[in-house]
Structure 1
């Protein structure tokens, strides 16, 4: 399934029929290709990005806003002036302008777009990350199937989780979570910090001590499983064992952004989003099935144009660099990148 076909299917599912069927359809299409591994990167724009100030400009209209549009390398396709690098890669993008939902609440919209279902009933539906992690993930990797970088989960916690698939398909979270609903910082003179908690032993704990602790944990866990059989304890052990394997593997070096050159880090942007896109590239190189990078701050009811300009610059640098590097490494063809938020904006400018 090509990227354009995927997005066409997604657009039909959300806007016309029902999203309940397109996640499994997508996963099955990708998993059935035995020739190559498939990956997905979700660039999640928390807060609801305005389409008329980004990829669906309305110049000359009373609700068109103050931004100018620029030509892309696709004749007739124009983007916001704040996406100059993406404009030169527009031929690699499929812009979906016909997608809409009936949700106007951030929590409900987040749940719908990330799970394919409106929040209702007692069924806990898995997020897109968990669904694709299950279908596309590689059990031989020490790295997790699903990595979430700097997520803002306060709108809807369940929309980021594995739901009924269980903790095995939940995300490994990198960096700070649930930052306030403001534009992400640029990083100042340095780079935004993105670390995985507890990948290394605690300070003062030697390798020998760590080995003894793991041995003790294993004995206690086996005893507990013997007396408390069931899916939940087994799932807990699976997740815990995966964490231990990651701690003991060189694969954890994928999270070491300091191993990249200053030139590379600079071109992605110093903020959380730019550095998150760089980490996503490193994880895809190592075979991770699904990575999401969040950029918070799109709920721009006040000072809209200044905020959107700053956010767009972060998107342009991070996303464009990500596509360039993936293409250079021969990975773009097998990696689908989705840019979306919980909803767009109504035409009338109120900020």
Structure 2
């Protein structure tokens, strides 16, 4: 049954349907998304696929076949003539017409933490001001007030690098990311699918009421807390007190059944979950799809975060093969499902890490840190796919055409999701700061 929701607001539709369908609401969600997706007034979303550790461009999207730096992998054709990827990207190769590969990225930060901060904020670390991540900035600009869900969600971020780089900076805790992590005893790093017969268990802790506390009792406790908190804030106005109240209120909102159900992957059929891959990245991509179809504007999903998986100083090719297969399955399935629901044209996907890796192979069959010339990829809504923008020399050592800096990348991402990159946010000192000082790359935008 095709559903016509053009005469209803999203909130009105959800309220009416919830009364009729209750626990079976997940059955109509794909139909609703497919009907609402093409609506030009529908809110846009962004999914950042973060590759912690720095992925090797010469073994993924900018291969150098026939050169000594080329390595062990073969270059494979895609559905776009002349555009070639690694042989381990079979799913993405079939959707290359939706991908724009930026092969001319160049930065000056070869340290993991500094590079992670730079790529997330557009700013070099170390100054007096703590800048917001692009997730926080876009969550503020695209905030969806029709949902109890947070506007910025980070799935399985690595503990080592997730601090200030993913933080809200001077925007404050209202725009901080809600974190989804792995639960139970299952390892959280990238794993070969054949080595496990389990699906990674991802979720947010403490979303359900404790035993013995029903909804009425919970509501009474919450009303008492609000009364006491308001009295305290009126007598103790401070940033710390306001921040604590904001964090608590955000947590309470996520306990709402509509919000909590978004993170419950048991509502998905087993075959759907397996199509994304059994690991934390694949299941994270599935959570991203569930959040986007519920109106969340920004979701970040990390691959390799807990052990800096892409930091392949040793044994590069075995590790990258494993990571590439996990990436390909999760990312390609995410795009397919978004397209099937009519949501890909309103969802922009960005693939990136903190830097690239040396084209030359070291004595340990690995590749080292290399910020000089590397790749990022944009796909989905607002992106003119089926192309490579920028070029490196035959050895992969330097950018020879269309060098791209991080501010340009972030400006392009903003424009793709319909946000003016010159939008200004104000620091605590009332200093206006643009989301990005860069120039959008018109050639990869539609």
2:140 is matched with 134
CA distance in 2, matches of 1:180, 1:127: 27
CA distance in 2, matches of 1:263, 1:117: 42
SS of residue matched to 2:299: strand
Matched, 1:47 2:53: yes
SS of residue matched to 2:102: coil
CA distance in 2, matches of 1:294, 1:301: 20
Matched, 1:285 2:293: yes
CA distance in 2, matches of 1:246, 1:149: 15
Matched, 1:111 2:117: yes
Deviations 1:127-173 (A, max 9, x none): 11101000011122100000000001413510010000000000000
CA distance in 1, matches of 2:325, 2:41: 36
1:261 is matched with 269
After the TM superposition, which residues 170-181 of structure 1 pair with which residues of structure 2 at under 5 Å, given as runs? 170-176=176-182
Matched, 1:271 2:279: yes
Deviations 1:185-217 (A, max 9, x none): 647111001010111123443434433432332
Contact 1:274 1:317 in 2 (8 A): yes
Matched, 1:298 2:310: yes
Q: Which has the higher strand share?
A: 2
SS of residue matched to 2:104: coil
Post-superposition shift, 1:294? 0.2
Residue range with higher mean Cα deviation, 204-213 or 258-267: 204-213
Post-superposition shift, 1:232? 4.1
Deviations 1:269-301 (A, max 9, x none): 000000000110000000000001000110111
SS of residue matched to 1:298: coil
Contact 2:121 2:133 in 1 (8 A): yes
After the TM superposition, which residues 1-351 of structure 1 pair with which residues of structure 2 at under 5 Å, given as runs? 35-155=41-161, 157-176=163-182, 183-184=190-191, 186=193, 188-296=196-304, 297-350=309-362, 351=366
The TM-score with structure 1 as length reference comes to: 0.86
Q: Are residues 182 and 330 of structure 1, via their aligned partners in 2, closer, same or farther at CA, if it must alter by over 3 Å?
A: closer
CA distance in 2, matches of 1:174, 1:284: 15
CA distance in 2, matches of 1:117, 1:185: 35
Post-superposition shift, 1:245? 2.3
Post-superposition shift, 1:238? 3.1
Unmatched segments (≥5 aa) in structure 2: 1-38, 367-446
Paired positions, count: 318
CA distance in 1, matches of 2:337, 2:303: 20
Post-superposition shift, 1:219? 2.4
The TM-score with structure 2 as length reference comes to: 0.68
SS of residue matched to 1:40: strand
CA distance in 1, matches of 2:187, 2:361: 23
SS of residue matched to 1:94: strand
CA distance in 1, matches of 2:149, 2:182: 20
Residue range with higher mean Cα deviation, 299-308 or 180-189: 180-189
Deviations 1:249-284 (A, max 9, x none): 323211111111111111100000000001100000
Contact 2:48 2:350 in 1 (8 A): yes
Q: Which has the higher helix share?
A: 1
Deviations 1:206-257 (A, max 9, x none): 4344334323322221121111124443343233223212212323211111
Of the two, which has the highest radius of gyration? 2
Unmatched segments (≥5 aa) in structure 1: 1-32
Contact 1:181 1:299 in 2 (8 A): no
